Structure formats: C-alpha cells, structure tokens
C-alpha cells in the first residue's frame, strides 16, 4: 500500500527545509511529506572557518528534528527510485509514495572515485578537504612545516566554487603567523582560465594573489592523486607548445612562461611524464569531484549530465509540470550556494501554491542570483554576488543589513563579521523557520 501526500519533498538540507517551512507559513493546511535519513543538519558554509580553526565544528550542526518544520511528515528514508510519469517514488526500505507535487532537493554527493587514487588519499596524511573533514584540514595546516602547499579543485560542478581558494588565503595567513611562510610556495591549480568568473571580484582576488605571492596554474585538470608519493597529476586543457611558451621552466630557459597558464610562477618540484604534469606537494587541500545522487542520475528527471533538468527561471522540471528542482542537484547555470537557494525557494513555493489554487505559475522568476563570501584572510572578506551570466549584482536586501558596506567587491573586516556571526544567525533563526531574508 502506498501513502499519498499533496507535496513530497526529497531532501532535508537548506533547500528542502526552507521550501517546507515557507510553504507552511503561507498555507498551514498544506499536506507535506519530507524524506531525509540524516539525523544532523549542518550549516556547511562555516566549514571553511572550521578548517582554519576560527569556528567550532560542533556549532555547525543541529539535530534534524530541531529544524524540521512542525506539520511536516518526516520520513527518515532514502529515496531510491523516481517514477514521475505516475507521480510515484519508492524508498530503499521498499515503501511507495504518491504525490500531487514533487520538490527535488537532495543536494549532491562527493565523488572522489572520479579522480584516480583520490578515494584512498582523501582525508589522510597531508591530503585534506573542508568539504569532507574540516577538522582534518586544521590538523594538516597546524602540522605543516613548509614546502609546497597545493590547493586545487576538480572539473565537475562543486558546492561554492570559491571555497577551494578561501582556505588557501586563510592558510597563507596562518603560515605567516606560524613562521613557515618564508620556506613555503603556495600554489593554486585550477581547471579554469580565471580566478573568478565575476570581473570586479576577479580584480580584487588578483590583488590578494599578488599581495600573498601565490602561484596560480590555470587550465589544470586534476586526473590522479598519488597519496603515498604526494604527487598530484594534471592534464593541461590548453596547448602550451604554441608560440614557444612553456608551463615549466628548467630545461626550457630562454622560452617565456605563458601567464594565462602560469601566473606568478614559483619553481616547485614538478614532473612531466606521458603528457601529464605532476606537482609534488607537502600538503594538499582540494574540493573532491562532485555529482548528483545516483537515483537522480538514473531518473527521468535528469539531463545528460545527471542533474535535475529544470527551467532556469521557474525551476519547474522541463519534463513534468508538477515537479520542481532546486539547490545543488538542479541543473542551473549559476553557483551552487545557500545564497542561491535563498532566492530559489520563494519561486518554487510561489509556483506550487499558485498551481494548487489556479493551475498556473506565478510571475515570480529566479534570476540566477548566487553569492560567495570569499574570505581573503583572517578578518577580511569580499562578497561575490552575481546573477546569470556572472553579472556582479549586489542584493538590495543585503544592503539593509547592519555592517554591510557600499561596495562588497572590496575586502573589508565588516564582511568577515557578516560571514562569521550574522549569516549563521540568519540561517538558523530566519531561513530555517520560513522567514524570507
């Protein structure tokens, strides 16, 4: 026998809880079932600060029961199969459910298996990640004695695209304080061609890179991690032989380094082998590859990349009118952040309530807004706010907050206060409770 709900929500993360709480605030009689097997709900944006020993990890989690909105039927089960043609889903426990409307917000999963050797190397020794174990990141930074500090990221979409470099700026600050900076090369290897896609933010970050004397290596696609030998192997996504430019100096004296590949070159222990480049590291922080959950990839809701296929503006499924997708699992051409979800939720809630009442969508549209609080050191931050097309677009609502500054594209201590104190407060006390901020 299957159970039926007016609205079913998959996921008890930021998106799922916010949709449920906002929906109930607007219509307390709505019948909602929510699937979430986790016992703890984490405020993950603070994990960057945990990795740099400036936020208590235990304070980033609260019991799922404490954030679950009153009036929601909570199923502590994993969804395993979606059958949207029949308005039906199944769980791993073998239970079937039907719905009038479905909200798909399961988040994404870490996929270290997409890089050879990474599963074995993750969160062990000198390989760390704020995405999986920020406490281990701090242990690695604390014990680092100098050498090559490598920071890197994958080619897949990831949560908060700026996070792999935030910890680098904090680490560099820490290395200065701990006295190891003078015998350290800080290297940022990225598959991208720019430090950040939003121009005013990129300008500020390149100034930070210059000030901190960091070597950036662009077009570097991470393909293998040798945890034992401490080598990260890359393929270059750009032809480096053209025009006599090179990636590594050494045997190629007299040839110029291509600054679009190597900015602020530092001579680190590097190897060229079989067309790949290996960087020997003494510590490495990375964002592991990330992917949509398996049950999403295998469902009729997915696009070719495995993400939930939705309209950029309405967040309605491109295949089923009574299904909506948002958050990290949705295929949207913007950054996967909690700030993006803050703007996506009212669109989904408004559309479903309007469909229930009048069988039509509202005029509310999501413009691609996302923001990335880019911590550039202890006590310093830039706030990258942007819409579709990577257009710098500060949110007028945020401007009203105490401590906000007129230009959030420049570094400021007030923005650090926003990140460390105000945003967590707003998250737990407003966003989780269905209050639009």
- Please answer whether residues 369 and 334 qualify as being in contact, where contact means their C-beta atoms are separated by less than 8 angstroms: yes
DSSP category for residue 199: H
∠153-412-183 over CA atoms, to 5°?
Answer: 50
- Name the catalytic one among 372, 374, 381, 383: 372
Is 128 noted as a catalytic residue in this protein?
A: no
Of 387, 321, 400, which Cα lies nearest the Cα of 355?
Answer: 321
Rounded CA-CA distance 20/85 in Å is 23
Of 159, 214, 158, which Cα lies nearest the Cα of 184?
Answer: 214
**Two tokens at 24?**
């109930």
- Name the catalytic one among 118, 160, 208, 315: 160
The crossing angle, in degrees rounded to 10, of helices 199-212 and 163-178 is 20
β-strand 127-128 against 109-110: which pairing, if any?
A: unpaired
Phi, psi of 106 (to 5 degrees): -85, 0
Rounded CA-CA distance 139/144 in Å is 9
What's the first-to-final CA gap in the chain, in angstroms?
41
Burial status of residue 387 (CB atoms within 10 A of its CB: 0-12, 13-18, 19 or more): middle
The crossing angle, in degrees rounded to 10, of helices 14-26 and 338-358 is 40
List, by residue number, the catalytic residues. Answer: 160, 372
């Amino acid at each position: 026998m299957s159970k039926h709900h007016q609205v079913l929500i998959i996921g008890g993360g930021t998106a799922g809880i916010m949709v449920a709480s906002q929906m109930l605030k607007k219509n307390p009689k709505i019948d909602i079932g929510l699937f979430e097997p986790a016992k703890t709900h984490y405020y993950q944006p603070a994990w960057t600060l945990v990795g740099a020993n400036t936020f208590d990890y235990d304070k980033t989690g609260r019991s799922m029961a404490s954030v679950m909105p009153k009036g929601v039927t909570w199923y502590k089960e994993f969804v395993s199969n979606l059958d949207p043609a029949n308005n039906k889903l199944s769980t791993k426990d073998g239970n079937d459910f039907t719905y009038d409307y479905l909200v798909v917000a399961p988040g994404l999963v870490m996929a270290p298996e997409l890089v050879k050797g990474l599963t074995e190397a993750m969160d062990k020794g000198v390989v760390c990640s704020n995405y999986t174990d920020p406490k281990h990141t701090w242990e690695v930074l604390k014990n680092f004695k100098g050498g090559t500090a490598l920071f890197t990221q994958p080619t897949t979409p990831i949560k908060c695209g700026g996070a792999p470099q935030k910890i680098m700026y904090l680490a560099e600050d820490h290395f200065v304080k701990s006295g190891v900076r003078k015998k350290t090369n800080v290297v940022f290897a990225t598959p991208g061609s720019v430090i950040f896609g939003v121009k005013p933010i990129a300008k500020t970050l390149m100034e930070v890179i210059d000030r901190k004397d960091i070597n950036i290596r662009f077009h570097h696609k991470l393909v293998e991690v040798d945890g034992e030998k401490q080598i990260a192997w890359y393929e270059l996504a750009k032809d480096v032989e053209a025009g006599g430019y090179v990636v590594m100096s050494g045997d190629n004296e007299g040839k110029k380094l291509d600054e679009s590949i190597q900015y602020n070159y530092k001579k680190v222990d590097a190897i060229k082998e079989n067309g790949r480049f290996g960087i020997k590291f003494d510590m490495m922080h990375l964002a592991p590859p990330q992917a949509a959950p398996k049950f999403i990839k295998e469902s009729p809701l997915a696009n070719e990349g495995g993400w939930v296929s939705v309209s950029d503006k309405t967040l309605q499924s491109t295949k089923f009118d009574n299904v909506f997708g948002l958050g990290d699992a949705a295929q949207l051409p913007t950054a996967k952040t909690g700030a993006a979800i803050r703007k996506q939720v009212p669109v989904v809630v408004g559309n479903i309530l309007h469909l229930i009442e009048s069988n039509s969508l509202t005029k509310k549209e999501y413009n691609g807004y996302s923001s990335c609080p880019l911590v550039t050191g202890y006590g310093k931050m830039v706030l990258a706010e942007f819409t579709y097309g990577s257009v710098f677009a500060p949110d007028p609502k945020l401007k009203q907050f105490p401590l906000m500054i007129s230009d959030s594209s420049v570094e400021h201590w007030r923005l650090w206060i926003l990140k460390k104190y105000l945003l967590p407060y707003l998250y737990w006390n407003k966003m989780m409770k269905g209050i639009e901020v």
